[in-house]
Chains A and B, each alone.
Chain A
Amino acid sequence: MAANKKQTVVNEDSLFTFIDHNTIESEKIIAPRYSYWKSVFRVFFRKKTNWGLLILFTVLLLCSFIIPIFCKYDPNENVTNALMFHLSPSQAMAQTGGFSFKWCLGTGALGNSIFYGIWASARTSLLLAVICAAINMTVGIIMGAVWGYSKQFDHVMLVIYNIIANVPYILMISVLVYIIGSGFWSFVFSLTVTGWLSIAYFFRTQVMIIRDREYSLASRCLGTPITRIVSKNILPFMTSVIVTILATELPSYISMEVFLSFIGVGLSASVPSLGRMIQEAQTAFITYPWEFWSPVAIASLVTIILYVLGQNLADASDPRTHM
């Protein structure tokens, strides 16, 4: 009681001080600092397997881009020396005297080094995958955005899409390769000339969904220019979708190359490629297993790593996992 009385004696006004009313400060909304990409990578690197896969992938990447620079792969280097044909790793190393990386996976049907061969081929495959994915994704996203946004464009594109979508993809690529040839760049052309269409169609649907959401409608009413709506309202929403598509696209081009070269409508013989190596070793599949399984293993390893990493990155890029 007494304490209470004592407090009341204290002048209440002395406990409070007036502060200046600052209109600018009062507009600020305090929220925890959030950076989208930081959170994506935080979630991504929380998983230990991702670290392992990433390191493995870096090793594969370095190997396939550095080894072919220093050790030129020449498929015909031993073409005249029949002693070098179809050697198992141990035989090959015995033949050339002691351990060497060059012969550690044996030799192929023409005495070529399998070890150098798979890295040169993996380089082709990775380059092809990155170039094709870059072209198809860029064209696909831009066309998809326009397609989804413009109604006149939609009518025209739907007709084109419905015609082209009827043609099986394999048929389309095979016929194109047959007609324009099978060099690296013509192969890229065959894969990309219609490849972007399905991606664009997918993004068209996504853009249409977001375009008519209330907040987009609201900012359109407020007179926001289209470029700003696209870059601020629509694209951020699609980041995780884009990453998901990319994660399936990248390995799919590698598989596609392997598949097409294997059936003989892919890259020409002058370009080292995993598909062609597998095709050449196909008949030796039981008798000379190392020739066959080495390129198969590299192709599978690259695609699995790309696929799993991509899926995990796609999961991490979904803001709902950032909590």
Chain B
Amino acid sequence: MKKYLLRRILFSLFSLLVVIWTVMLLVFSLTDRSVIFQNDDTWNKRSANERIVYEYSQYQRYEYLEYVNYTSYASNKLGNGDAYTEESNLIQRQEGDAYLESATVQQFIEEYTAKGYKIVRLDPIKFSSGRTKGQLKPGGRGFLLAVRERPIIYRLFDYLGNLFTIETTNDVKDPSLTDRYVRFEKDPYSGLFAIVGSGTTHKYLLYFDSRFPWIHQNWIHLNLGVSYTRFRGQEITGVINDPSGDLKNARQQFPALIGTDQYVETSANFHSATYNMGELTDAEKQQFNDRYTVMTYRRSGLSMIENSFVIGLVAVVIAYCLGLPLGILMARKKDKLVDKLGMAYIVFIMAVPSLAYIFLFAALGTKLFNLPYKFANAQVKFLAYILPTISLALPQIGSLMKWMRRYMIDQMNSDYVKFARAEGLSEQEIFSQHISRNAIIPLVHGIPASILGCLTGAIITERVYSVPGVGNLLTLAINGHDNGIIVACTVFYTTLSIISQIAGDLLMVKYDPRISFETKGGR
């Protein structure tokens, strides 16, 4: 079993690698990279040569290429004295090939062409007539750049290498910090213990608090990359994980003032404290014992992924609680009215496009029960969750009913059922103790997939009710040409699907000991 599992996990990692690599190759080489400037204000403001250099800087930021500006090269080489000023003016003044006469320029070109860079010369653009003749046009400064495309394979390795970062005590590059450790400490905020680090970026590496899921960590960070256009430049992990809504104040004490009677109303989350490299203010020196003074703020709303997960999980629980018993009931009353009604419902759910019935439920829910339709407009937040949850649960109920009925009916003609009947067991007992236990085995396999699937959100439901969840992350990224999010979603979805497959198999083995993955001899 262990050997099988190990092989399976290794193969899954391999296939994950292949998938990420393929998607990266397709996305970064076949799509038009300039679309990232579509709604970029800085790009719109700049013109001519400066715009081109800005494009290069953005491409470098998103790892399409590497470039070196000659002026920065010259300043490194010559310092910031007169020689440097003269060199940088040379680029501005002279058009054509005249700039090549400079020894530093020649050196620059030689050095970088040897490294495989391409030299890009942007001639200064000047007014050719009028009062300002000979002066630079706006954005017309001349540039000399060395540019090199980054092979996609490097991107892949960089991406995978940075996927997980683990905080160590050497993270803070501050020579004045001598006392570096990671240890258990009593946490004054929760009253329980916490793992506290010094020299790590975060102070609290593992801690408890009152927020779901009650235990939190800042030790290992998942880094899915950066969003290109939709959340320009933001970390994707942060986008899906950071709570939304208004600041939530609470009566708290600063770390250094614990034990005194000085309380403040603040939304600061002291557990999120990170190291401050700058100068501490006098107030901070009083309030904190150490330099961990930068923190995030508590907010009242849920994060994107939490929204999706809450709705999805409740829907899954409802679906299993209703779908399985209904499926059993349909099998028991085969060809009776209940069965026919159930079949009609199943056909409706299976055949009708999902968005048709989600809109139908939305229309019925708002008309008949006066439930809030759009998430943002809801007066009572709790009510806003009802319709999306029901919309998600109903199709799952249909599909569970369908399979449960199918598997029950398949089992009903088995020998063990006839035997049980011959033994004189009641129909009730046969159905609940014998048939349903066997029929449920294939459905057990799907449980991890449906629970983990909640993390990816629901595309149409979230769109219809405008739920701020993760379901539309991928589709909106595709509409907005956000390559960063597309890659991140690929990694995230594929990993979840692999984990749920393996977990489903394990659960099935656990539930039914007859199933085994061991390869027994023979052919």
- Point out residues on A near B: beta carbons under 8 Å: 162-163, 166-168, 170-171, 174-175, 177-180, 248, 251, 254-255, 258-259, 262-265, 278, 285-286, 292, 296, 299-300, 303-304, 306-308, 311
A308–B351 CB distance below 8 A? yes
B26–A179 CB distance below 8 A? yes
Q: Is the interface of A mostly helix, strand, loop or mixed?
A: helix
Q: If A174-B478, A251-B351 touch, does A168 touch B15 (CB 8 Å cutoff)?
A: no
B353–A255 CB distance below 8 A? yes
Specify which of B348, B486, B493, B494 is in contact with A178 (CB 8 Å cutoff): B486
A307–B353 CB distance below 8 A? no
Q: List 18 A-B contacts (CB under 8 A).
A: A163-B19, A166-B12, A166-B501, A167-B490, A167-B497, A171-B494, A175-B490, A255-B353, A263-B475, A285-B359, A286-B363, A296-B359, A300-B353, A303-B352, A304-B348, A304-B351, A307-B350, A307-B351
Query: Is the C-beta of B136 less than 8 angstroms from some C-beta in chain A?
Result: no
B494–A168 CB distance below 8 A? yes
Q: How many residues of B contact A (CB 8 A)?
A: 44
Contact with A along B332-355 (1 / 0, CB 8 A): 000000000000000110111111
Query: Is the C-beta of B113 less than 8 angstroms from some C-beta in chain A?
Result: no
Q: Which residue of A lies closest to B373 (CB)?
A: A286
B347–A308 CB distance below 8 A? yes
* Segment 436-489 of B: residues with Cβ below 8 Å from A: 456, 459-460, 463, 472, 474-475, 478-479, 481, 486, 489
CB distance from B27 to the nearest CB of A (A): 7
Specify which of B16, B472, B493 is in contact with A263 (CB 8 Å cutoff): B472
Q: If A285-B359, A304-B351, A308-B347 touch, does A179 touch B459 (CB 8 Å cutoff)?
A: no
CB distance from A282 to the nearest CB of B (A): 8
* A262 CA / B353 CA spacing, docked (Å): 11
A300–B497 CB distance below 8 A? no
Residues of A within 8 A of B23 (CB): 175
B347–A299 CB distance below 8 A? no
Query: Is the C-beta of B18 less than 8 angstroms from some C-beta in chain A?
Result: yes
B31–A264 CB distance below 8 A? no
**A-B complex: 8 closest residue pairs judged by Cβ atoms:** A307-B351, A163-B15, A255-B353, A258-B353, A263-B475, A304-B351, A300-B352, A178-B478
Query: Is the C-beta of B498 less than 8 angstroms from some C-beta in chain A?
Result: yes
With most chain B CB atoms within 10 A of its CB, the pick from A171, A177, A251, A278 is A171
Residues of A within 8 A of B489 (CB): 171
CB distance from B246 to the nearest CB of A (A): 27
Residues of B within 8 A of A296 (CB): 353, 355-356, 359
Residues of A within 8 A of B359 (CB): 285, 292, 296
A171–B490 CB distance below 8 A? yes
Specify which of B14, B26, B354, B475 is in contact with A255 (CB 8 Å cutoff): B354
CB distance from A8 to the nearest CB of B (A): 57
B355–A258 CB distance below 8 A? yes
Residues of A within 8 A of B31 (CB): 178-179
Specify which of B27, B351, B354, B490 is in contact with A259 (CB 8 Å cutoff): B354
Q: Which residue of B lies closest to A274 (CB)?
A: B353
* A251 CA / B472 CA spacing, docked (Å): 24
Residues of B within 8 A of A168 (CB): 456, 493-494, 497
Query: Is the C-beta of B263 less than 8 angstroms from some C-beta in chain A?
Result: no
B352–A174 CB distance below 8 A? no
* Segment 473-523 of B: residues with Cβ below 8 Å from A: 474-475, 478-479, 481, 486, 489-490, 493-494, 497-498, 501
Give me 7 other A-B pairs in contact (C-beta within 8 A), A175-B23, A299-B356, A303-B352 excluded: A166-B16, A168-B497, A170-B459, A178-B31, A251-B351, A265-B475, A285-B362
Q: If A178-B31, A179-B30, A259-B460 touch, does A265 touch B355 (CB 8 Å cutoff)?
A: no
Q: If A265-B478, A307-B350 touch, does A166 touch B355 (CB 8 Å cutoff)?
A: no
Residues of B within 8 A of A299 (CB): 352-353, 356
Q: If A162-B11, A166-B15, A166-B497 touch, does A175 touch B352 (CB 8 Å cutoff)?
A: no
CB distance from B430 to the nearest CB of A (A): 25
CB distance from B374 to the nearest CB of A (A): 11
A175–B463 CB distance below 8 A? no
* A178 CA / B363 CA spacing, docked (Å): 32
Q: Which residue of B lies closest to A264 (CB)?
A: B479
B15–A162 CB distance below 8 A? yes
Residues of A within 8 A of B18 (CB): 163
* A163 CA / B22 CA spacing, docked (Å): 11
Contact with A along B10-52 (1 / 0, CB 8 A): 0110111011000100110011000000000000000000000
Residues of B within 8 A of A303 (CB): 351-353
Residues of A within 8 A of B459 (CB): 170, 259, 263
Residues of A within 8 A of B486 (CB): 175, 178
A167–B27 CB distance below 8 A? no
* A163 CA / B20 CA spacing, docked (Å): 11
Q: Which residue of A lies closest to B350 (CB)?
A: A307
CB distance from A176 to the nearest CB of B (A): 8
* A162 CA / B15 CA spacing, docked (Å): 8
A278–B501 CB distance below 8 A? no
Q: Which residue of B lies closest to A258 (CB)?
A: B353
CB distance from B358 to the nearest CB of A (A): 10
